[in-house]
Structure 1
Amino acid sequence: MKKFRILAWLLVLMMVLAGCGTAAGSSSAGDIVILYTNDAHCGIEDGLGYAGLAAVKNSLTATGSSVLLVDNGDAIQGDTIGTLSKGAYIIEIMNKLGYDVATPGNHEFDYGMEQFLALTEAADFDYVSANFVDADGNPVLKPYVIKEVNGTKIAFVGISTPKTITSSTPTYFQNDAGEYIYGFMQDETGEKLYAAVQSAVDAARGEGAKYVIAMAHLGIEADCSPWTSSEVIVNTSGIDAVLDGHSHSVIPGDMVKNKEGKEVLLTSTGTKLANIGCLTIAPDGTITAALINDGGVGETLATIKAGYEEMVNTVVASTKVPLCIYDPADTSIRLVRRQETNLGDLCADAYRAMSGAEIAFVNGGGIRVDIPAGDITYGQIIAVHPFGNEMCVIEATGQQILDALELGAMNTPGESGGFLQVSGLTYEIDLSVPSSVQQDENKMFTGVAGDYRVKNVMVGEEPLDLTRTYTLASHNYMLKSAGDGYAMFQGCKLLQDSVMIDNQVLINYIVDVLGGVVGEEYSDPYGQGRITVLEG
């Protein structure tokens, strides 16, 4: 059996290297190969896995290729190993792998600014970002680094999504007075971002860089505009290739014309190491990309994993029904970010029951994985709520609650991490009404310009009273820090503060209220009819 496994791995590795060579120009001693990852989200054993990545890197090096390894953000958050160590275990693994450069994604900041900066010190590689600045507009990190390979200078320019302000915890970027002391060159037109990137590219070229590779955590989705990777390409010049992240998109290699009409390669690997990117610069200057996949695990991962495996495998409850964030009819759709699901109902019910509030909200982006029917482990609960947010209760008016629902529904039927799963109320979303939600340059809610698409909001048996005050439970990310742009709750009276972390709220509800078993009342994956989406 052991011999078979070794042979199987060798066959996989041969296919991986053949795939990189075929699409990227037959990797040879004269080639410069850049392996790239994005949105790994602690997926240490998913897809190829970090051990498989190490094997690919070592094998390419053995062929005589010069190999660099870079990451385009969201590596340190997304599963138990990240949550328990606040990202430190992932940095340890990345150091072991020999990463050369990384760009911070929005989730690199999920453990707070102090922890992020500590992790950059612990890293044996450079974090770069041309648009992550302090209050005076000075770069917090190096805008770029130049790596010289066989006499050829290659610049790596970092670009972090300006959505970081709202998709991480906004207070992490503020001082005690609530003033922003960090930013990402965000404005409504995108011009500040484009200028920051162009300045870094020009500086790198001025230092003699023959090639400029943009390491972006920007994404391609409409709600990322005007800061998408394509928009950055169109509004800049001098970039040879963009390695992108944030949208979890699989882009083997698209060509996008820059502001001078020259084609720039755009590529992205997806998420959870389902693919590893392989960018090849041939001796004649040709740049090509390929995505490779499949692999195994390694000794470094096993050593780290042994330290926490027993705890995360502890059974804390059970469920008679599958609990969903993905659409059972199409598992590529993250349903929890666009409509009601049974796991969304369960999480919101947990907040309402454990706090005693009249209403509870949970943002869909904070509910991360399905739970299959059967035993529920502590690790699964942490994977559902990996951020360590803390339950809070405020007093909010009916108008503020309506505004929050409207903000959450602004992208429906498209995805939004801020889409609200609810308990204690029901509502309708009328898609025939276009969203007129207004946001400032930081994507913070400022108002609604036209008709509301959220209608018929009922609290229990009574219509929502816009002038009445209600008790509302959620977490500090939304209620205190205006996460996902929920600025309407700033200044609300705080009744309960940081009562317990989000995953403990869910465990306590299932164990103490449901008797340790999630039952048939949550059987419908599409929920209990709390949110009705009316087609336009």
Structure 2
Amino acid sequence: MKKKVLSLVLTAAMVMGLAAPALAAEGSETGKIVILHTNDVHCGIDPVTDEASGAVTNVGYAGVAAYKGEMEAQYGAENVTLVDAGDAIQGGPIGTLSKGSYIVDIMNEVGYDLAIPGNHEFDYGMENFLTLAKEQAAYTYLCCNFTDLEGNPVLDAYQVVDYGDVRVGYVGIDTPESFTKSTPTYFQDGNGNYIYSFSQGNEGADLYAAVQKAVDAAVAEGADYVVALGHLGNEGSTDVWTSKSVIANTTGIDVFIDGHSHESYDETVQNKDGEDVVLAQTGTKLANIGKVVIDTATGDITAELVSGYEKQDETVAAYVAQVNAEFAGVLQEVVAKSDVDLTTLDPATGERAVRNAETNLGDLCADAYRVLLGADVAFVNGGGVRADIAAGDITYEDIINVHPFGNEACLVETTGQDILDALEMGARLYPEENGGFLQVSGLSYTIDASVPSSVVLSDEGEFVKVDGAYRVKDVLVGGEPLDVSKTYTLASHNYMLKSGGDGFVMFKDDTLLQDSVMIDNQVLINYIVDELGGVVSADYADPKGQGRITIVNADQAAENPEEPAETEEPAETTVWADLDPSAWYAEAVNYVINNGIMGSTSTEANLFNPTGTVTRAEIYQIIYNMEGRPEEGIPVILPQEDGWYADAIRWAAAKDIYLFNIKPDTDAFDPSQVINRAYVAAILADYAQLKGLAADTTKAAPNLGDLTGELKDGMEFCYYVGILSGDENGNLNPYGQLTRVELAQIVMNLNQLLAAAETDAETAAEVTYTAETVSIEANGRTIPAIVTLPAGEGPFPAVVLNHGHGGSKDENTGFGGIAAAQADAA
């Protein structure tokens, strides 16, 4: 039996710290098999560096190639295999516009050996994927559970690779969620019948059986080790289809390389027989490179996540640059035509109208969602329609400028009441602009501007209820009056339907019928090309739209201004190129920027990098900024004694704030390490407690799995005080990485809690008291006591300090005497 000693390490592979040993060029480390892995790259082809910290947050494909070259030099090229666990070709314009072709070309250049399809590999159609997989890719796609209805495999289920005398079997697995997290029609025939299967039946049993069959076949073919390549994930994935569920219900897998959920982990879980299996996933967009090493002499298996890697393979970098240049040309490629001007503007005034009125471009965008997802109704928020399209040729760039955010199309089942409430929410600010003003398809409605809005919002700006008359009236769905008790299907995007964007939280608990089908600009492209035949006709000629939204009594709107909004706008609105002022994070980002807590990640322009990850140095600098940058600290060994973060680290050390050590065999501080939510929580918890913030530990503790020690304590504290609430399902995801906008929200929450606590303390300090000495007659004795009362008008509770009421004292009055004093005080 193979011996498996699992060493799970997170490595920061800085270029200065990862120099190969002298004998590396000769492949000195023999007898070891190295498997490098990536997942959920989502078109993140280029390296990304945080300007403020210098941290590499995305190694890029040239970085993957460089690291692969180092491993080949160290272990021998014949012992190194590079694999991908799905969702590589979708997620950015370069994937959308080339239908994944550019990404496959780059992966060929990098030198991938094996890959599996993720759900988004199917986003450009089945025929397109099969062409990429079977004709264009120089590497092999595997999937054991992807079959036609007769059970015939569409791709090879597994492949056995020889490494000298040792054989490793690779088994591919894709999530059955592909049906709903891509486009369902791509898996159907012309009559809407499914003609493909992902072994989705019997509550996971069919999937486990398909995997076990492939594992057993690989072993029968001589595999000494079995590595599963899965696009299954854990957090947020269907329970019976997670990688952990597959491992727990199968035997024979030694390593499970995962994807789909965008988590970063390398851990050990047990299979059906109680044997250890290495489970690893690298996050998303090449935040890490995964590395698994099998020592064939000892049977030991180790796993690492390599982050911050700075080197770039020159050949691949040049190839990527060439692809980017070609892509720039593709942006100008004509994909369709329009017979009319499509606008976001009022034709009379030239002012923006899409956020408080119907426009023809708003109609077009909403129609695209409704038709492509087969919904009764579709909504598009006005803030998500960003640019006009002039009559004539339509280029890819035109489409992307309309929908630049990359939101993902979703379909939910909802009620007529929720639809009505959403329309009211969108219309509440009329005639003022509102990024949440709804452009619609499949329905029409009227806004009576003379009716004041009675929408009630939470402190966070989320919909609570309508506490009065509706200004939205005469809602028709498909020409029939809206039935508030009826169920309808609603198409929109994840920002609104899943994340409660623009305050539309009424849909968050609705049944999700299709999830993350395709990105927003792809929805629009496909609708124009596939449904309209490539031409936007005169049906959309009127710049004011097709009469779906009617405004009445607009002249009376000024007489009935809405009461001041329940959520105040920030004192200053931050306008930076990469920030959306209508996004959910806008208030928090404005807050941290205007208060000097967080700033630009670029020295050349105001750029917040909203989706960027958080480095170790950044989090300490943030709390140091919150503290006002005091001039105190103690010595700490730093790679740069005068680094921008140095004062913050020394101050944190002086205050005994958690200074975790990623590198256990050295005292050096690694500032560029990208850290997860648990580490952020531990640091913020220490700072909050330093400031005197206490947690309500009577609340039910969150489920943090195997998290222990200070990380567990920190996560629980942040949860108890309310600065960390988790995702839409309440999952705290301790091993996940925070984006900068998520951190901004948490930091704002914390700073506001601290400010409120300080205000309470100051108010308490301002209360004055009077103290009076009284005498208590009890048991024939006169006992002195002090009665303390707050100044001012009462009633107040009196505090009676009774000297010497202990049972061993001669002057003991007993508690009856204390009660008498309290009665006197009253």
Aligned to 2:302: 288
Letter in 2 for 1:61: E
Number of aligned residues: 411
Give the distance between the partners of 1:349 and 1:225, measured in 2 at CA: 43
Query: Retained in 2: the 8 A contact 1:69–1:99?
Result: yes
Equivalent residue in structure 2 for 1:361, among 372, 379, 387:
379
Q: 1:37 to 1:156 in 2, by over 3 A?
A: same
Equivalent residue in structure 1 for 2:405, among 364, 376, 384:
384
Structure 1 stretch 56-65 or stretch 135-144: which is displaced more? 56-65
Give the distance between the partners of 1:227 and 1:429, measured in 2 at CA: 40
1:33 matches 2:54:
no
Q: 1:223 to 1:124 in 2, by over 3 A?
A: closer
Query: Retained in 1: the 8 A contact 2:413–2:513?
Result: no
Secondary structure at the counterpart of residue 41 of structure 1: coil
Post-superposition Cα deviations, 1:309-329, rounded to whole Å, max 9, x if no partner, equal: 366599xxxx9xxxxxxxxxx
Q: 1:362 to 1:106 in 2, by over 3 A?
A: farther
Equivalent residue in structure 2 for 1:308, among 311, 324, 327:
327
1:485 matches 2:513:
yes
Aligned to 1:299: 318
Query: Retained in 1: the 8 A contact 2:237–2:261?
Result: no
1:525 matches 2:583:
yes
Secondary structure at the counterpart of residue 34 of structure 1: strand
1:186 matches 2:209:
no
Unaligned runs of 5+ in 2: 1-12, 22-26, 48-57, 334-343, 345-353, 368-375, 387-396, 423-435, 446-452, 495-510, 516-525, 546-574, 587-727, 731-826
Secondary structure at the counterpart of residue 199 of structure 2: coil
Equivalent residue in structure 1 for 2:154, among 110, 120, 140:
140
Aligned to 1:45: 46
Letter in 2 for 1:212: V
Match runs of 1:112-127 below 5 Å? 112-121=125-134, 122-127=136-141
Letter in 1 for 2:288: N
Secondary structure at the counterpart of residue 273 of structure 1: coil
Aligned to 1:15: 17
Secondary structure at the counterpart of residue 240 of structure 2: coil
Give the distance between the partners of 2:238 and 2:196, measured in 1 at CA: 19
Letter in 2 for 1:156: Y
RMSD: 5.0
In the superposition, the TM-score normalised over structure 2's length comes to: 0.43
Query: Retained in 1: the 8 A contact 2:366–2:380?
Result: no
Give the distance between the partners of 1:397 and 1:475, measured in 2 at CA: 11
Secondary structure at the counterpart of residue 276 of structure 1: strand
Letter in 2 for 1:15: G
Post-superposition Cα deviations, 1:89-148, rounded to whole Å, max 9, x if no partner, equal: 111111112211101000000000000000012111111111111011221111111111
Letter in 2 for 1:34: I
Aligned to 2:291: 278
Residue 454 (structure 1) shift: 11
Letter in 1 for 2:379: F
Tell which has more relative contact order, 1 or 2 (C-alpha 8 A, sep 6+).
1
Unaligned runs of 5+ in 1: 1-10, 20-25, 320-343, 370-376, 407-419, 432-452, 478-482, 488-496
Name whichever structure is richer in strand by fraction.
1
Q: 1:500 to 1:16 in 2, by over 3 A?
A: farther
Aligned to 1:410: none
Residue 429 (structure 1) shift: 13
Match runs of 1:464-475 below 5 Å? 468=481
In the superposition, the TM-score normalised over structure 1's length comes to: 0.64
Equivalent residue in structure 1 for 2:220, among 206, 220, 223:
206
Equivalent residue in structure 2 for 1:461, among 465, 469, 472:
472
1:155 matches 2:155:
no
Give the distance between the partners of 2:128 and 2:240, measured in 1 at CA: 29
Secondary structure at the counterpart of residue 281 of structure 1: strand
Post-superposition Cα deviations, 1:299-355, rounded to whole Å, max 9, x if no partner, equal: 1101111112366599xxxx9xxxxxxxxxxxxxxxxxxxxxxxx989x99874446
Query: Retained in 2: the 8 A contact 1:351–1:360?
Result: no
Query: Retained in 1: the 8 A contact 2:263–2:282?
Result: yes
Query: Retained in 1: the 8 A contact 2:229–2:257?
Result: yes
Q: 1:155 to 1:398 in 2, by over 3 A?
A: closer
Post-superposition Cα deviations, 1:232-276, rounded to whole Å, max 9, x if no partner, equal: 01111100011000000011x111111100111111000001111
Q: 1:112 to 1:311 in 2, by over 3 A?
A: closer
Aligned to 1:492: none
Letter in 1 for 2:211: V
Give the distance between the partners of 2:132 and 2:184, measured in 1 at CA: 19
Aligned to 1:327: none
Give the distance between the partners of 2:421 and 2:242, measured in 1 at CA: 26
Query: Retained in 2: the 8 A contact 1:159–1:216?
Result: yes
Secondary structure at the counterpart of residue 62 of structure 1: helix
Secondary structure at the counterpart of residue 384 of structure 1: coil
Give the distance between the partners of 1:62 and 1:80, measured in 2 at CA: 35
Secondary structure at the counterpart of residue 189 of structure 1: helix
Match runs of 1:338-357 below 5 Å? 352-354=362-364
1:264 matches 2:283:
no
Give the distance between the partners of 2:379 and 2:401, measured in 1 at CA: 21
Structure number, greater radius of gyration: 2
Secondary structure at the counterpart of residue 75 of structure 2: coil
Give the distance between the partners of 2:359 and 2:20, measured in 1 at CA: 51
Q: 1:281 to 1:381 in 2, by over 3 A?
A: farther
Post-superposition Cα deviations, 1:132-166, rounded to whole Å, max 9, x if no partner, equal: 11011221111111111122110110010000001
Give the distance between the partners of 2:366 and 2:222, measured in 1 at CA: 63
Query: Retained in 2: the 8 A contact 1:279–1:290?
Result: yes
Aligned to 2:229: 215
Secondary structure at the counterpart of residue 39 of structure 1: coil
Give the distance between the partners of 1:462 and 1:349, measured in 2 at CA: 19
Aligned to 1:412: none
Q: 1:118 to 1:173 in 2, by over 3 A?
A: same
Secondary structure at the counterpart of residue 42 of structure 1: coil
Structure 1 stretch 295-304 or stretch 467-476: which is displaced more? 467-476
Match runs of 1:32-181 below 5 Å? 32-46=33-47, 47-65=58-76, 66-121=79-134, 122-181=136-195
Residue 403 (structure 1) shift: 9.3
Secondary structure at the counterpart of residue 153 of structure 1: strand
Query: Retained in 2: the 8 A contact 1:103–1:158?
Result: yes
Give the distance between the partners of 2:528 and 2:482, measured in 1 at CA: 21
Residue 215 (structure 1) shift: 0.2
Secondary structure at the counterpart of residue 322 of structure 2: helix
Give the distance between the partners of 2:491 and 2:179, measured in 1 at CA: 19
Aligned to 1:440: none
Q: 1:27 to 1:117 in 2, by over 3 A?
A: farther
Residue 460 (structure 1) shift: 5.7
Aligned to 1:229: 243
Letter in 1 for 2:583: P
Query: Retained in 2: the 8 A contact 1:202–1:238?
Result: yes
Residue 31 (structure 1) shift: 1.4
Give the distance between the partners of 1:382 and 1:356, measured in 2 at CA: 12
Residue 380 (structure 1) shift: 6.1
Post-superposition Cα deviations, 1:456-496, rounded to whole Å, max 9, x if no partner, equal: 7998623978972699995899xxxxx96259xxxxxxxxx
Q: 1:500 to 1:349 in 2, by over 3 A?
A: farther
Letter in 2 for 1:42: C
Secondary structure at the counterpart of residue 175 of structure 1: coil
Give the distance between the partners of 1:96 and 1:382, measured in 2 at CA: 31
Indicate the percent of aligned positions where both proteins have the same amino acid.
40
Residue 223 (structure 1) shift: 3.9
